[in-house]
Structures are given as structure tokens and as C-alpha cells.
Amino acid sequence: MDPAKVQAVIDWPVPKSRVELQRFLGFANFYRRFIRNFGQVAAPLTALTSVKTCFKWSVSAQGAFDLLKNRFTSAPILVTPDVTRQFVVEVDASEVGVGAILSQRSLSDDKVHPCAYFSHRLSPSERNYDVGNRELLAIRLALGEWRQWLEGTTVPFVVWTDHRNLEYIRSAKRLNARQARWALFFARFEFVISYRPGSKNTKPDALSRLFSSSVASTDPEGILPEGRVVGLTVWGIERQVKQALTQTPSPRACPRNLLFVPVPTRLAVLQWAHSAKLAGHPGVRGTLASIRQRFWWPTREHDTRRFVAACSVCAQTKSGNSPPAGRLRPLPIPSRPWSHIALDFVTGLPSSAGKTVILTVVDRFSKAAHFIPLAKLPSAKETAQIIIENVFRIHGLPSDVVSDRGPQFTSQFWREFCRLIGASVSLSSGFHPQSNGQAERANQTIGRILRSLSFRNPASWSEQLPWAEYAHNSLPSSATGQSPFQSSLGYQPPLFSSQFAESSVPSAQAFVQRCERTWKRVRSALCRYRAQTVRAANKRRTKSPRYCRGQRVWLSTQNLPLKTASRKLTPRFIGPFRISQIINPVAVRLLLPRYLRRVHPVFHVSCIKPVLRAPARLPPPPPPILVEGAPIYRVRRILDMRPRGRGHQYLVDWEGYGPEERSWVPSRDVLDRALIEDFLRCRQVSSSSAPGGAR
């Protein structure tokens, strides 16, 4: 046998704990039928598994360990592969490695014998794979290791795995890029994947865990170095201030019952009073209340205000109570009807004669509107055809089209269509529907009218839509004082037959003159209404800060499609992000990361806020405390837990480090078990107090 094929067993490290020894003996028990007097050979090792004796590796244990490894790599346990008979490949993956055994049923005793062993240590990137991909990686590596025997076999071989989902991997219709590459490799083999429970798959499991100790000592996770342990300490801020006072005397102005805080430790006091767990990031008043109980320095009120204003945690998690930023910036007023239009869709309607959507088209000059019923949301090409048939053929081509950022209006087809007809495309900024306020207002009006006309039979709204459009266009607008009919046509359609004579037009020239006079009155009314609206709106708004290119800002998460477990506990702002362009005084373009690539980068200033500077340079993260040569990192709390392999990992929030430094720590690295017990106790209480009881 090629020595490389059994190297995984030859290099099996000496067990350093009772668990590692039990893992080795579990592997050996599967082959005890081939080893004569197995109980006597393994007796020194079996004795060490008792919890009543101290685990101490002896010469006899080493001899039994070496003898068993020699038996595993020689006959009668090991057999030479025969390509004419069926192979069995047993695979398993752990957090640190993968293991596999190639076996075959012997003709002499009709029992399954191993042909070769395989063990592979996972790289740091491979350890980031999920469980399914790690198990699939074990199959990929095992087939690559023994491809000279498995490729082109006359009898399809069997792959045993303890991950049931892999049984369907060869018939899956959707694969990621990594799985697709491996699928091309698997196409060279004829095999069947079969599920085997983990309790019966311990042989490859033992081989996959050979690197547990080495990975734990050489590849620390997150901020923890070699020999790390987890402990819990309390920040002695009072002791820190007293130590600083030994070098700086206290001034006479300091009250007797308070401690004077020297300049080097003021930032630490501010962090304690504001950012500590017992404080909970209060406002200026709450932070000052904590400081005034014990500490004093001349500029503590001023420093506290600056520190709270610059706190990044508060900036991300707190909603502002001030009015929205950005003065009202209305769109320009058109000079004639139907030269500037606004589009929007009304969705979520019940089916009525096969219609479920309304396309709203508003003339921004006269406020006239067309409400077009549709069977579904149209594509960009279908939207253009609908506008041509229902608007352009009646009112002519517009010079500007305002819309939101729906897929119909952001497509290349729509932009090219508007360019060909000579119209500019005006899209609203991100999550700011006020930019298309006239269409939004028309949607509210049509919704009110339809509710009134069809509240007894909602499915009849399509029959009532023409009457609703007539009502909207014949009633006077608050902006112009005239109805949309009169503002666009120059006259009000009569409601009674006695008015027909009064509404007759003597000549076309007089009709045009009357239209021009009407349009002048309408435009004057719109200008007055615009000024009045700006004054009223700005009373409820604040002036936007003056932003510049390259400045860092926080972005509101109110409308962002973030994937979170709880929307209520999601930060109110994320970032910071840099400004790449100033579109206008109330709109900016941001440099967004890749995970927000689907979000349009132009935002109204009410959706952002500037990043303020801290009053002083923040200190570096606190160094670990050395206990018996091992560093102890302070833990703020344990946030979550997840299963990994046969154990669990805990998400640790480190004291003095930001959320970006949170890391998953294996349970074996938690020295203070009270941390885990408190976390599990709180988790059990929260689940039992939930509606419906504990699950």
C-alpha cells in the first residue's frame, strides 16, 4: 500500500485529553473484529477513559497507541483495492477538517475492510463554509484523492455522509458558483450519495477532528490571540481618576465631595458615564447627571455636549426629534397645460373586470388627470404605449415627465423613449415621494372618490373610474381656484342645458384669447400658491447643513431593504458614507457599499445627517489583562449562540471594542462559565415569557 494513503492514521497525534482519547478508541472499535485480543491491546488506553482516574499519558499507553496504529495500516484490517468490485466512501466534515475512508467488502470474510484513509485540514476560508458546503467539500476532496480507483469503475460506488440534504445535490436545479464547479468534477464519477446518521459515521468524523487542537492554538478568531480566555471585569473609573490625581493636584474650585478629573482621563469618564452598560447611552442631561454625582472639571458641560453629539452609537440608534432637514424646493411652474406631466401607479386594488392597477397621469399646470385602469403593472415598453394612446394623442408631447424610481421609469428603454420625443426625465430622489407630490396627491383624491362610490361593491371600482375622473377634473383646485377643465380648456363644461348658450364660443380666435387669459390667471395663481406653500412647509422644516463633496454622513435606515431579525432593534442610521456629488441644495449622491447596490445612491437631505467629530481622540481599545501568561479580554455581554459541529459558539460583544469586532467564540474558550449560564438563563426566561409559552 502506498504510505501516503494511510498517512492520516500514521500521523494521528497523541491524545492530550480524555475526549481526544475517546475519539481515537471510537475509531478503533469499528475495526476491533480484525484485531486479535483487541481488549487486551487497548486496555491501557481504555483505563484512561475513566473519570475516576487522572488522565496521565504513560509508556504503556503510548505502546498500545502505536501498536493499534500499526494494525490499522496493515493486514488483515487493510486490503488492496479491487477496481472490479464496489467501493464505499465514508466522509465527514468538522469545523476544522474533513475525513474520509475508502472501504471495500473482502471476498475472504465478506466484511467491509478499509483500503485507504484521508484527512485534510481546512483553510481559514474553507472554515467559513456552511455545514452543507463543508460536507460537500469532504466528498470533493475524497474523490480527488482516490480518483485513480473511483473514476471509470464498472460498479457505481456509494458515498456515506451524515448530512441528509446531500442526497439531493445531484438533482438540485439551483446551485451556487462553487457547487456548480464541483458538479462538473462529480460528472466524471458514477456514485450514489446515501445518508448515514452521525452515530454510525464516527470513523471519518474522528479523522476530520485531528486538527482541532492545532487550529485552536494557531488560528485565533476575531481579536483573540493565542492562549485566549474570556473573562468578565468591571471598569474601575473611580480608581483610574484617583491614580491620575497623584500626578495632577486638584484645584481649589473643585467641590469637596467630588473628584477633579485631569485632562488625560476626561474622555474615559465621558465614555463611562455615557457608553457603559449601566448608562445605556443617555442624552446630554442623563450623561451629566451621572458625572455630577462623583466628578468635576471646569468644562464638563461643554465637553459632555460635544461627546454625546459625536457618539457614533447614538447617531446610528437614535431617531431625531427635530423637524426634517431641507427647505422646500418646488418644481418649476409650467407655462401651458400638459407640457409637464407626472406619472404614478395605484396598486393593491381588488380585481374589477380584470383590472387591478391604475396609471395616474397628472398635468402639473392645470391639475387635470387621467386615470387609466390596467390589468397589471406594465413594463417600460407597455407604459410608453399606454401613454401614447391615452395622453399624447390627445394633448401632444410633453417637455418633462416626473415619476418615481419604479422599474418602468429607470429602464434604458424609458430613457431612450423620452429622449426621442424630446422630453426630459425627472426621477424622484431615494425614498422621497414628495418629489412626485402632485401624482401622489391625485392618488389620494381618486382613492377617496372610489371609496365613496364603490364601498358597497369594491369589485366595481373600474366602472366608477370614469365618473371619478370627471369629478376630479370638474371640481376647482385649491392651487389655481379653477377646475382642471377650465384651466386647460379655457371654459367650464356646463352641467345644465340652460348654460349651453352662455358657453358658446363666437369664434376660434376668441376661444384662443380666452384660453391665453385663463392660462395667465392660472400661472399667477400657481406662483402665489407656490410661495404660500413654501412658507407654510418651511415652518415645519429646518435649514439643511451645508454639505460638501467627500464629507461623511449617516444614512437613515427607515426605507432601506435591510435583512434584520427585528426591525425595531435595527439601527436608525448606518454608515458613515461619503458624499460623491452635490445634486442640488436638498439632494446628494452617496458612495454606497456593495450590499446596498440595489439602492439608488441619490438621497434627500432629510434622509442623512452629518458625522460630528469627537471632542478628543478616542483611546485605543483596552489591552488585555495577563493572568498566568494568558490574556483576558473584557466581555460586555454574550449576544447569541449557534451550533457548530457537536458543540456551540457564542457571539461575544467585547468591552472597549465596537460592533464590528464582535466575534463567535467556541465554548471551550470561555473561562468564566457564569457568562454562558447567565445568557442561557436570560434566553430561557425570554422564550418562556413569549406569547404561547416556551417552545
State mean pLDDT over 653-669. Answer: 75
Where residue 620 falls among pLDDT bands split at 50, 70, 90? low
Q: How much is the pLDDT for 2? A: 59
What is the pLDDT confidence band of residue 691, given thresholds at 50, 70 and 90? very low
For 158, phi and psi rounded to 5 degrees?
-115, 135
Structure confidence at residue 433 (pLDDT): 67
C-alpha cell at 446: 381618486
pLDDT at 381: 92
pLDDT higher than threshold 80 for residue 581? yes
Q: Who contacts 549 (Cβ-Cβ below 8 Å, separation ≥6)? A: 579, 580, 581, 582
Mean pLDDT is lowest, of 503-517, 522-536, 619-633, for 503-517
Which cell is 346 given? 395605484
> For residue 258, what is its C-alpha cell?
467630588
Q: Hey, what amino acid is at 191?
A: F
CA distance 13 to 20: 9
Tell me the three cell numbers of residue 334: 409650467
- What confidence category does residue 499 fall into, taking pLDDT thresholds of 50, 70 and 90? low
Report the interhelical angle of 284-292 vs 300-310 (nearest 10°).
140
- pLDDT for the residue numbered 385: 93
For the chain, how many residues are written? Answer: 695
SS3 state of residue 205: helix
Look at residue 695 and tell me whether its pLDDT is greater than 50: no
Higher pLDDT, 688 or 683: 683
- Alpha-carbon torsion (140, 143, 148, 151), positive or negative: negative
Please report, for residues 195, 338, 473, 485, 507, the alpha-carbon distance to residue 489 in angstroms, rounded to integers and kept in the order given. Answer: 77, 11, 11, 6, 15
Q: Residue 459, Cβ neighbours under 10 Å: how many?
A: 12
Sequence-distant contacts of 660-663: CB under 8 A, at least 24 apart: 661/222, 661/223, 661/621, 662/222, 663/221, 663/222, 663/223, 663/224
- Name the residue with higher pLDDT: 517 or 591: 591
C-alpha cell at 688: 418562556
Q: What is the model's pLDDT at position 375? A: 92
Element (H, E) at 459: none
Grid cell locating 204: 471519518
336 closest CA partner among 473, 474, 520, 485: 520
Q: How far is the C-alpha of 542 from the C-alpha of 88, rounded, in Å?
A: 73
What mean pLDDT value characterizes the chain? 79
Average pLDDT on 643-657 reads 82
Comparison of pLDDT for 631 and 380, the residue scoring more: 380
In which band, very low, low, confident or very high, does the pLDDT at 379 lie, cut at 50, 70 and 90? very high
Residue type, 401: V
* Diameter of the chain measured on Cα atoms: 123
Percent of the chain with pLDDT over 70: 78
Per-residue pLDDT of 243-263, as tens digits, reads: 888 888 888 888 888 889 988
Q: Indicate whether 168 pLDDT > 70.
A: no
Enumerate residues 6+ apart whose C-beta is below 8 A from 498.
none
Q: Tell me, what's the pLDDT at 229?
A: 46
> In which band, very low, low, confident or very high, does the pLDDT at 554 lie, cut at 50, 70 and 90?
confident
* pLDDT 10s digits, 424-433: 888 876 666 6
* Mean pLDDT value across residues 97-116: 83
Lowest mean pLDDT among 54-68, 185-199, 481-495, 591-605: 481-495
Choice between 165 and 151, residue whose per-residue pLDDT is larger: 151
At 12, is the pLDDT very low, low, confident or very high (cuts 50, 70, 90)? confident
- 228 has a pLDDT exceeding 70: no
Question: If you average pLDDT over residues 369-387, what whole number do you get?
Answer: 92
Give the pLDDT score at 278. 78
- What was the pLDDT predicted at 689? 52
Cα three-residue angle 383-389-392, rounded to 5 degrees: 95
Q: What is the DSSP letter of 456?
A: S
The pLDDT, as a whole number, for residue 382 is 93
pLDDT tens-digit readout, 316-370? 777 776 776 666 666 777 878 888 889 999 988 999 999 999 999 999 888 889 9
Query: Mean pLDDT lowest for which of 274-283, 380-389, 547-556?
Result: 274-283
Cα–Cα distance measured from residue 427 to residue 24, given in angstroms and rounded to the nearest whole number = 67
Asked whether residue 536 carries a pLDDT value surpassing 80, the answer given is no
Please compute Rg for the chain using Cα positions.
Answer: 38
Residue 398, number of CB atoms within 10 A of its CB: 24
- Does the pLDDT at position 34 exceed 60? yes
Please check whether residue 310 is in contact with residue 612, taking contact to mean a CB–CB distance below 8 angstroms: yes
Residues 364 and 340: beta-carbon distance below 8 Å: yes
Is 94 or 223 the better-scoring residue by pLDDT? 94
The mean pLDDT of 508-535, rounded to a whole number, is 68
Looking at the chain, the whole-number percentage of residues with pLDDT higher than 90 is 7
Q: What is the dihedral of CA 218, 219, 225, 228, to 10 degrees?
A: -80
Nine cell digits for residue 167: 442526497
Q: Span 490-501, mean pLDDT?
A: 63
Residue 26 pLDDT class (50, 70, 90 cuts): confident
Per residue, what are the HEC states of 294-345? CEECCCHHHHHHHHHHHCHHHHHHCCCCCCCECCCCCCCCCCCCCCEEEEEE
- pLDDT score recorded for residue 332: 75
pLDDT of 370 reads: 92
Name the residue with cell 493565542. Answer: 226
Of the pLDDT bands very low, low, confident and very high (cuts 50, 70, 90), residue 692 is very low
Question: What's the pLDDT at 615?
Answer: 56
User: Quick one: pLDDT band at residue 647, thresholds 50, 70, 90?
Assistant: confident
- Who wins on pLDDT, 543 or 400? 400
Q: What is the pLDDT of residue 388?
A: 92
